[in-house]
Amino acid sequence: MHTRQFKSNLYKELATVTKSLSNPHRLEILDLLAQGSFPVEYIAMHTQMPIANASQHLQVLKNSGLVTTERDGKYIYYRMQNEQVLETWLSLRMLAFSQNEEINQLLNDYRLRKNQLYVIKTDELLEKMNNEDVILLDVRPKEEYEAGHIENASSKPFKNLNETLSDLPVGTDIVAYCRGPLCLMADEAVALLRSKGYTAYRLEKGYSDWLAEKRPVSAS
């Protein structure tokens, strides 16, 4: 094979991977799969897509080698192919935040509309955890909490948070986290908690970042 043709074939194969990342729905699916493995029904529900559409996007990701499947009973679960896919997703997200100011502006505008810019960094959270003066809440759906969560975090899904506030003591700092900076459940949880008189913050990042940084995690 001619050298030029050989190189063209190499870049063509590389493009199949990058092309699979060029769709916003598939990026949202990857953000969800960074939390663990889930069936297409769960993925469709939490990305608000028809099952058929979600399945098509998952097939594109699978064909490009980014996603794989495993069967559990009658369900087929989708998950990231390996740790490198998670690292790639987090790096791509970081690149977008550093190069596209519109992303940062959209998030800041959203938080300003909510009248809350209460964000805490990982180092600050670790210090509070070491001093045992913080309550850490995982506000993702329970399925994601059970797949994996930050060690010592309590599950308080945002959709039920208002009904379970009485379990939380007033006077202790509360930090809520969800899937990551593109996930808004933690922002909504902090807004609700502060409206009820709690001192609450959202973790700047989320579970997938914590996992990638090799920090302590647990699974139910």
13: exposed, middle or buried (Cβ count in 10 Å: 0-12, 13-18, 19+)? exposed
Residues ≥6 apart with Cβ < 8 Å to 99: none
CA 53 – CA 39 distance, rounded (Å): 14
Q: Which residue is catalytic, options 27, 125, 176, 178?
A: 178
Q: Which is it for strands 134-138 and 154-155: parallel, antiparallel or unpaired?
A: parallel
Q: Is 183 a catalytic residue?
A: no
Question: What DSSP line would sit under 180-201, residue for residue?
Answer: -TT--HHHHHHHHHHHTT--EE
Residues designated as active site = 178
